[in-house]
Amino acid sequence: MATISFTFASPSKPLNPSIAPKNPTIFNVLATPSNPQLKRAFFLNSPSISPIFIRALKPQQCRTSSTPITSLFTGIVEEMGQIKQLGYDKPDSFTMKIQAKLILEDINLGDSISVNGTCLTVADFDTQKLEFSVGLAPETLRKTSLIELEQGSLVNLERALRPTTRMGGHFVQGHVDGTGEIVDLKTEGDSLWVKVKTAKEILRYIVPKGFIAVDGTSLTVVDVVDEEGCFNFMLVAYTQQNVVIPLKKVGQKVNLEVDILGKYVERLLSSGFVDSIKSS
């Protein structure tokens, strides 16, 4: 993939709301406050970016597990796109512009695109410049690892599943359940072991040899270590060359979406559905 370079004014300076320049062209969201309340205030009150965005884009509404399934993905990454620009085109509207190629072949406004496992809606695109834009709500930034992206970052991309598409992974909704932290990366031959730590609320749905989507990549869990709050998986050489996970370092976050079947089973059991069948 060709390297794309862009020039912006002082991109390395941390963006603190109290000292931020009046008209920043871009910012690094890694520099946002760690305190949740401060971070919320930051997202809702940050200044706008350069008027490179020709027209205002509507912020993407965050989708949760209670949202009806409107799009499905396989977790088979189609290509890696590159973040061309990200920031606020309005004080309360965060926009991300991504450069890609394959995704643009049949793109339409309103299409659902999985970006590192997060289902987002195409709000604008330019097939000549090979780029498209999506909006992100503050809750989406808080819920996912997209908060760690910056200009130049690579992201996994996948278009929504069509009925005629070969099902190569598993059913992925693009509704991120939460994030995990990479705690270990270890090679074995030409394969890569990745160990991820996550909250027990997510780990409860992860089982050995079960499905999981990590940054939108459909993977098979190898082991689950409950006492450490971790699970691991292995990436073969081909996968390493076509997804963003191997580009990350220990300590960085990944988006996690567990297999929805486990959540349905738990819901049925807790509602007494099984007991009602036994008694009927």
The CA radius of gyration of the chain, in Å to the nearest whole number, is: 19
DSSP code of 152? T
Distance CA(166)–CA(164), nearest Å, equals 7
175 is catalytic: yes
**Which member of 62, 119, 213, 230 is catalytic?**
119
Residue 213 known to be catalytic? no
Q: CA 154, 156, 158 angle in degrees (round to 5)?
A: 145
Q: Which of 62, 100, 123, 137 is catalytic?
A: 137
239 catalytic? Reply is no
- All residues at 6 or more sequence positions from 196 whose CB lies less than 8 Å from its CB, including other chains: 180, 181, 182, 183, 214, 230, 231, 232, 233, 254, 256
- 121 catalytic? Reply is yes
Please identify which of the residues 32, 71, 121, 145 carries the catalytic annotation.
121
Nearest C-alpha neighbor of 219 from the set 198, 233, 230, 205: 233
Please pick, among 32, 170, 175, 179, the residue that the annotation labels catalytic: 175
Backbone φ, ψ for residue 141 (5° rounding)? -65, -35
41 as an active site residue: the answer is no
Catalytic residues: 73, 112, 119, 121, 137, 175, 220
